[in-house]
Chain A
Amino acid sequence: MTAVETAQPERRTLTGALGTFTSRHAAVLPTIAAVAILIVLLVGAQMYFGNFLTARNMSALLLDNAYLMVLAVGMTFVIVTAGIDLSVGSVMAFTGIFGASLLASGVPLVIALPAMLVSGAAIGLLIGVLVQYFNVQPFIASLAGLFLGRGLAFVVSLSSIRVEDPALLWLQSTRFRLGDWYITPTGIIAIVAVVIGALVMHFTRFGRTVYAVGGSAQSARLMGLNVARTTVMVYVISGLCGGLAGLVLTAYSGAGYPRNGIGTELDVIAVVVIGGTLLTGGRGYVLGSMIGVFVYGTIKTIISFMGAEQSWTHIIVGGLLLLFIVVQRAIVARSERGS
């Protein structure tokens, strides 16, 4: 039998190489755009302020946004399956105040920590089951999760609870230094979450099924993949990340507070999308979401350097988000025309 696909003869031209690249890696383009924007922001800020790209400043970027990064890892899983999880901000608040109250009543961290993670994962499980088995729109199911989490946070305490537990405070106060660079254990937690998330997405069958479900749940089912388990699992992972973010944020602020993270779910969705994950599912990277967090954090820092209102952060992030959604739409439209 003759070869069916008439493979284009290998020509070492720029357009040929570009063609091969786009036919293989079209999905990476939005993330590359995010990296480009990050570089432009950093370089631009350095040229404008002169003292922006400092080790101190860059280290703080990770430290200040560690909780956001943890949430973004979970959200990436959910959005790649074409879902959405609006509950993460209030799950973070609930697990944070829950953990803080446990610690305040003398429970050691080794018990409080798993309790926080499990309670976050439990809310995720609830959302996942609603989405998968009761056929509820992810938007609605996770909205229920949002209210549930916020309500539970207020049940635990109406006001903030200070954390005195030395182990938890250690997570924030310890600084591993390298020259002027430093990283706290909370920063390490965020980085580890990103690395594990990226590995799971790329190197496990579960991770690949997440992409398949996002590409087409119907196809994935007909291909014999376990769609139901995967769908539930991504929400559990997102809830788990919510619990972990609750820990990170409580350590960061030294207290649990039931009003934490109001609107954070939208920031998380924004950074994930800016990082190159398609809201319609099937494409995206955990590492891209990390870039998205850095873009977001950099914008925030620039605005505080300028001494402007922080509300400008939201305006700029909103504009970027719009830009990215249009860019993604254009890329998707192009690949649809190509097929």
Chain B
Amino acid sequence: MLADTDVPPVVEMRGITIRFPGVLALDHVDFFLRPGEVHSLMGENGAGKSTLIKALTGVYQIDSGTIAVDGQARRFETTADAQRAGISTVYQEVNLCSNLSVGENVMLGHEPRGRFGIDWNGVHREAERHLTSLGLELDTRSMLSSHSIAIQQLVAIARAMVLDCSVLILDEPTSSLDRGEVEQLFSVIRDLRDKGVAILFVSHFLEQVYEISDRITVLRNGQLVGEHLIDDLPRDALVTEMIGRELGDLAALSKNADREIDRTGTPVLRASGVSRRGVLQASDIDVYDGEVVGIAGLLGSGRTELVRMLYGADRADAGTIEVDGREARMHAPRHAIGHKIAFSSENRREEGVVADLTVAENMILGLQAQRGWLKPVPKAERDAIVAEYMDALGVRPADPTLPVGNLSGGNQQKVLLARWLATAPELLILDEPTRGIDVGAKADIQRKVAELSEQGLSVIFISSELEEVLRIAQRVVVMRDRGQIGTLDSSDVDIDALIDYIANSEEGSVTR
């Protein structure tokens, strides 16, 4: 563990700027990677981590700035260029060919050749040598697809070794590994670091970042926030840097959180010990009539996974879900819909609005699905519903005949909200309803959620913005590293305490 700032960096990225249509993905970001260190790149979704990595691996072209490797200025046009400069990448979804053998995946494009083409014995001998140097004993002739994702990740690293890389980029390598597999990966990473390889590590799991890293660089909204040695950056400081603070007129909204909730009866929904191997550790959540329960945690903490299981979009391996005190089977979304549960996905464009349909059609879609396709919603009823929600949510422009695709993100979100509200649900699950939308629309949506919950609707509200969660939810389920770590009363905590809780609390213990 040298992590000495005096060591000349192997990678120097200066003033990197990348512009996508309408978005400044990276704004004059500097990034340095030194040999023999594990350097974590941190930031929330959209902070620019992937973009920076893709600039370094030649997937994206930079608009301005310089990249130097070993002191030599480089311009990467393709992945192959970056690989020739000694930069290898192992991606989250293993980018190998599962239809080929392990040995071939390690050696593809670098196969030893004899007089009659590829020397297959040589291929497997070489592959085995590289795998053994990582402490892996595998049948190199077996198909890659017959191995677990963890092994496939390690095979990808072995492939990087064939390329003789001096820089190894690991982009979310642990997101689908279990604890033991992470340990295997980490011991390989440490080994490589000690051999002088510079390792760029990206993970949403704070624990892992603190376990493996020597240095951290934080990005937010495409800008560099800071570079720190791991020991100089306590967890809460890191979380604060990643999330930032949100000020302005939102903070002026009245606190829905302080409303008293009657929790003496049976909860509308109670889930206990819901889990799925490798996806979510046992988590509990319960929601009472008229209550808003927030879910707080960083991206990848298991927020979305939990609510998808509540909704039946994914199946849980274990745990029980009760609706109104009776155990319910949630194996498909239609079960949840039958229990009057509505779910608005965080993936607005792909799982939400139908861009080519009009605002009115989008609003009515949920209700129509609930009634069945053979019983069309009468036109008068339909017009009334659309008019009501256009007005109540302040959809702009106020023309229900426009295609939804023409609306801004915030207004699309309002249309989605209207769609679910039109089905008169008893429980509404909102996954990141305010992500990437402007402040005005954000305030409208929060106000509507508060108002509805006052009228008795129960809501589960997921947001990356902790202030928003604390403002709107009476209780907050806190998640980290794919599992629930506690449930807090939001009147008991402020934002700093919540950040501290997310960053530091020991699993299972509830410290307030």
Interface residues in chain A, defined as those with a beta carbon under 8 Å from any beta carbon in chain B: 1-5, 7, 20, 23-24, 26-27, 199, 202-205, 208-209, 211-212, 214-216, 218-226, 282-283, 335-336, 338-339
Contact = CB atoms under 8 A, between A and B. Distances in A.
A3 B134 CA distance: 9
Interface in B89-145: 89, 91, 95-101, 104, 108-109, 111, 113, 116-118, 134-139, 141-143, 145
A45 to B, nearest CB: 35
Contacts of A202: 117-118
B79 interface: yes
A283 B151 contact: no
A25 to B, nearest CB: 8
Contacts of B151: 4-5
Given A23-B146, A211-B97, A338-B145, A225 B139 contact: no
Max chain B C-beta neighbours (<10 A), residue from A1, A20, A216, A335: A1
B117 A216 contact: no
A283 to B, nearest CB: 6
B147 interface: yes
B118 A205 contact: yes
Contacts of A221: 79
Given A219-B97, A282-B99, A3 B187 contact: no
Contacts of A1: 134-135, 187-188, 191
A107 B109 CA distance: 43
B25 interface: no
15 contacts: A1-B135, A4-B134, A23-B146, A24-B101, A208-B104, A211-B99, A212-B100, A215-B99, A216-B95, A222-B95, A223-B95, A282-B97, A282-B100, A338-B145, A339-B149
A208 B79 CA distance: 19
A5 to B, nearest CB: 5
B191 A339 contact: no
Count class of interface residues, chain B: 35 or more
A20 B101 CA distance: 13
A214 B99 CA distance: 8
Nearest to B191: A1
A208 B143 contact: no
Interface in B48-105: 59, 78-80, 83, 89, 91, 95-101, 104
Given A23-B143, A212-B100, A339-B146, 4 more contacts: A4-B151, A203-B118, A212-B97, A222-B91
Nearest to B107: A208
A213 to B, nearest CB: 9
A4 B154 contact: yes
Contact of B89 (A4, A214, A222): A222
Nearest to A222: B95
A208 B117 CA distance: 11
Given A24-B141, A222-B91, A336-B145, A283 B99 contact: yes
Contacts of A7: 137-139
A38 to B, nearest CB: 25
Nearest to B163: A224
Contact of A4 (B108, B117, B135, B159): B135
B368 interface: no
B184 interface: yes
Contacts of B148: 339
Contacts of B142: 20, 23-24
Contacts of A339: 98, 145-149
Interface of B: 59, 78-80, 83, 89, 91, 95-101, 104, 108-109, 111, 113, 116-118, 134-139, 141-143, 145-149, 151, 154, 159, 163, 184, 187-188, 191
Given A1-B135, A204-B117, A338 B100 contact: no
Contacts of A215: 97-100
Contacts of B187: 1
Contacts of A27: 99, 143
A222 B78 CA distance: 9
A1 B135 CA distance: 6
A113 B179 CA distance: 64
Contacts of A224: 78-80, 83, 109, 163
A218 B95 contact: yes
A216 B108 CA distance: 13
Contacts of B89: 222
Contact of A5 (B97, B101, B137): B137
Contact of B139 (A3, A20, A216): A20
B116 A203 contact: yes
Nearest to B187: A1
Contacts of A5: 136-138, 147, 151
B146 A335 contact: yes
A39 B160 CA distance: 45
A225 B117 contact: no
A76 B139 CA distance: 28
Nearest to A2: B135
A1 B184 CA distance: 9
Nearest to B190: A1
Nearest to B132: A3
Nearest to A223: B108
A203 B118 CA distance: 5
A335 B143 contact: yes
A214 B100 CA distance: 10
A2 B135 CA distance: 6
B109 A205 contact: yes
Nearest to B110: A205
B100 to A, nearest CB: 6
A203 B89 CA distance: 27
| The 3 A-B residue pairs with the shortest CB-CB distance in the complex, in nearest-first order | A203-B117, A215-B97, A1-B135
A217 B147 CA distance: 21
Nearest to B141: A24
Contacts of A4: 134-137, 151, 154, 184
Given A1-B191, A4-B135, A335 B97 contact: no
A183 B101 CA distance: 37
Contacts of B104: 208
